[in-house]
Amino acid sequence: MNVSDPNENAMTPSVISRNRLECLFDGIFAIAMTILVLELKVPDLTDPHSAGEMGRKMAVYAPVFGSYVLSFVALGVFWFRHNEQFHHCQFITNRMLVFQLAQLAMAAFFPFCAALLGRYPSNRLSMVFYSGCVFIYLWSVWANWVVAKRAGALKPEAVAGQYARIRSRLRRGCLVITLLFGSSLYKLLTQ
């Protein structure tokens, strides 16, 4: 049974159903957020009753736990913001789909970057991978938002009220991650 999106009609230049794309986003984010926890390992103890030994072994995993928490929160925010922006789109154009797929690729890649950062927190290349993943994700979000506006794909109320606010927030986020990614890359290349 083919259920159509009530916000779409035959006159829109949509290349894919908004509902299908939204379901894909939800699935990718759910999987990526679940995969993050697989990096957390229960430590092997020589004495299963020793709280001290467990504490010492768990302390070794602190960067992995930190990376998990940071990454879960980041993916949660990305998912929430995507939902917020997606609500304002009437249809999806080819160019928007390209940027949406770039976002999905980075969301799916996030667990790998989080694992690198958790296992090797002092390795500069792990920070380049992590910040680079966020860099590509955020710039794809910003580009998608601008392309959607130019294509007339946004609902009129979004264009009138929220487009500038969201674009400004995205621009600030892109600036911050560009500085972080650039700094990480510079540190790696000058070490």
Return the pLDDT at 3: 45
Return the pLDDT at 12: 54
Asked if residues 153 and 92 have their Cβ atoms less than 8 Å apart, the reply is yes
Closest among 14, 33, 40 to 148, alpha carbons compared:
14
Rounded to whole angstroms, the Cα distance separating 162 from 133 reads 26
Cα–Cα distances in angstroms (integers) from residue 80 to residues 63, 74, 77, 91, 165, in the given order: 25, 10, 5, 19, 16
SS3 of 92, please? coil
**Tokens representing residue 60 in the block:** 């070794």
**Tokens representing residue 16 in the block:** 């894919």
pTM: 0.87
Domain ranges of the chain: 18-189
Q: How many CB atoms lie within 10 A of CB 53?
A: 15
What tens-digit pLDDT sequence spans the chain (191 residues)? Answer: 444 444 444 455 788 889 999 999 999 999 999 999 998 888 899 999 999 999 998 998 899 999 999 999 999 999 999 998 888 999 999 999 999 999 999 999 999 999 999 999 999 999 999 999 999 999 999 999 999 999 999 998 877 778 888 889 999 999 999 999 999 999 999 98
Asked if residues 145 and 155 have their Cβ atoms less than 8 Å apart, the reply is no
Asked if residues 86 and 18 have their Cβ atoms less than 8 Å apart, the reply is yes
Return the pLDDT at 14: 83
Q: Which amino acid would we find at residue 13?
A: P
